[in-house]
Amino acid sequence: MQNHSTPTPLPHIGLSHGDINGIGYEIMLKAFSDSRMFESMAPILYGQSKAFSYYKKNLGLDSPNYNLIRDAQQASEKKFNIVNIVENEVKIEPGVPNETSTEMSVLSMKRAVDDLQKGLIDALVMAPDSPLAAKSNRDFLFSFHKDAETLRVMVSGKMRIALATDDLPLSEALGAIDIRFLVNKLAVFSQALKSDFGIPSPKIAVLGINPHSGSVSNGDDKVVKAVGDAQKKGIFAFGPFSSTQMFASDLWMKYDAVMAMHYEQGVFPLKLMALDGCAYYWAGLPIVCTAPMHGPAFELANANKAEPDFYRKALYLAEDIVRHRKGK
Give pLDDT, residue 281: 97
Mean pLDDT (whole number) for 224-238: 97
Q: What DSSP assignment string belongs to 230-259? A: HHHTT-EEEEEE-HHHHHSSSGGGGSSEEE
- Per the prediction, the chain carries an average pLDDT of 92
Give pLDDT, residue 5: 52
Give pLDDT, residue 88: 85
Strands 66-69 and 80-84, sheet pairing: parallel
Mean pLDDT (whole number) for 214-240: 86
Q: What is the pTM of this model?
A: 0.93
Give pLDDT, residue 7: 61
Give pLDDT, residue 4: 47
What band does 327 get if pLDDT is binned at 50, 70 and 90? confident
Q: What percent of the chain has pLDDT over 70?
A: 95
Q: For 176-204, what is each residue's pLDDT tens digit?
A: 899 999 999 999 999 999 999 999 999 99
- DSSP annotation of 43: E
Strand ordering across the sheet containing 123-126:
66-69, 80-84, 42-47, 12-16, 123-126, 289-292, 279-283, 151-156, 159-163, 257-260, 203-207, 236-241
Which residue, among 100, 80, 96, has the nearest Cα to 14 in the 3D structure?
80
- Domain residue ranges in the chain: 1-147+285-328, 149-276
Residue 249 is which amino acid?
S
Angle at which helices 131-142 and 99-118 cross, to 10°: 20
Domain 149-276 has CATH 3.30.56.10: no
**3-class DSSP state of 202:** coil
As a whole number of angstroms, the distance between CA 71 and CA 317 comes to 24
Is 112 a residue whose pLDDT tops 80?
yes
Give the architecture (CATH level 2) of 1-147+285-328.
3-Layer(aba) Sandwich (3.40)
Q: What is the largest CA-CA distance in the chain?
A: 69
Q: Within its chain, how far is the Cα of 175 from the centroid?
A: 26
